[in-house]
Amino acid sequence: MTDRNRIYFRLLVFPFVLALLMPCFFKTFFSTYTFGSVYYYLIAFLMSFGLVPLFYKLGVIMNITDIPGGRHHHGIPTPRTGGLAIFITFIASLNIYTNPPPEFTGLFWAIIIIAGFGILDDINGLPAWVKLIGQIMATAVLIYHGIFISFIPDHEFWNIFSIILTFLWVIGITNAVNFLDGLDGLASGLAITVSLFYAAISWSIGNRFVFIVSVFFMGAVSGFFVYNFRIGRRALIFLGDTGSTIIGFTLAAMAIYGDWGIHKSVDLAIPILLLAVPITDMLLTNIMRISTGKVHSFKELLEYAGNDHLHHRLKALGLKPKSVVIILCVFTMIMGLLSLLLKYGDYFESFIALGIGILIFSVVVSLMVFQERKNGNYKKK
């Protein structure tokens, strides 16, 4: 780090240290002016921003790095310890939250379980089935503390089905986001965008828990994003399995807990719209792998790793990696705007919103490809 960067770093960290030394003053000030969310975001952002360089050095010292080659297309060995900064920041930030609901405990310990398995995987590598066990354990903790899908009728049979559906949803989204962590800034950019709309919608309907957790999470991921998505330069650090699984798990859990609209159909539609990119990628990729005979069993499906995900396909069109990230984040933002309009809607409006989102996504991708061709960046095959 250069002398100039050290000065900038100290200037940025100063408000964070001051906030820790004078928490009562800061909390009262921001609460008085209804800027509590700004306080929460800045605390999480600055803490994460300050921790990333420390975990970068830790990754180098302990050789927890991704080596170029195979599916890794970066130029030099890069630490994959960025997820630790997000984890510690998020957990520490949650402790600022006063008078949390009972579900808070479930999310807190579930995140710790996910992080534990992620850290072990980043250090030594874990079989897919072991990571799956960790995700099952964490999801069980959520369910035990009252975070589960509850839009279906309250009946003994439906309650069992609800629990099964919760396992499928949380584990599915966790792995879907993990699979998308293949380009600099993609998983973290999507996390920031989705968390922004989680916060906006939950604020508008008065869900304080989801609002505060979303703001904390957005700040924690934003502090990492600065180092991972750098225009004109390579990523300084990667999320690792710790970061990508924490992101997926947290987004899935908040989607379940959120009370997103006045109709039950909206409770289902809004999370699907906001998480459309990882859901679409996981469904289409696995369907293609099964239909083409690339995988023949559930075990193979868990362990298969290929370059056939959505971001790989967009790159194959000739788009630059950062253009792909921008496209997918813009699409998620559009779906978020539709979700804001949908919160008072019904079934019909839910389908209309989804259709509009798909149409807009197709137009945006077409325009980006056209522009890349015009600029001479399109790779002809």
What pLDDT shows up at residue 247? 97
Q: For residue 57, what pLDDT is reported?
A: 92
pLDDT score recorded for residue 106:
92
User: How would you write the chain as a 3-class SS string?
Assistant: CCHHHHHHHHHHHHHHHHHHHCHHHHHHHHHHCCCHHHHHHHHHHHHHHHHHHHHHHHHHHCCCEECCECCECCCCCEECCHHHHHHHHHHHHHCCCCCCCCHHHHHHHHHHHHHHHHHHHHHHCCCHHHHHHHHHHHHHHHHHCCCCCCCCCCCHHHHHHHHHHHHHHHHHHHHHHHHHCCCCCHHHHHHHHHHHHHHHHHHHHCCHHHHHHHHHHHHHHHHHHHHHCCCCCCCCCCCHHHHHHHHHHHHHHHHHHCCCCCCHHHHHHHHHHHCHHHHHHHHHHHHHHHHCCCCCCHHHHHHCCCCCCHHHHHHHCCCCHHHHHHHHHHHHHHHHHHHHHHCCCCHHHHHHHHHHHHHHHHHHHHHHHHHHHHCCCCCCC
**According to the model, what pLDDT value does residue 14 have?**
43
Q: Which residues of the chain have pLDDT under 70?
A: 1-36, 68-75, 98, 151-158, 259-266, 303, 344-354, 357-358, 360-381
- pLDDT of 168 reads 95
User: Which pLDDT score is estimated for 154?
Assistant: 61
Q: What is the pLDDT of residue 357?
A: 65
Predicted confidence at residue 274, as pLDDT, reads: 92
Q: What is residue 379's predicted lDDT score, i.e. its pLDDT?
A: 47
pLDDT score recorded for residue 16: 47
pLDDT recorded at residue 216: 93
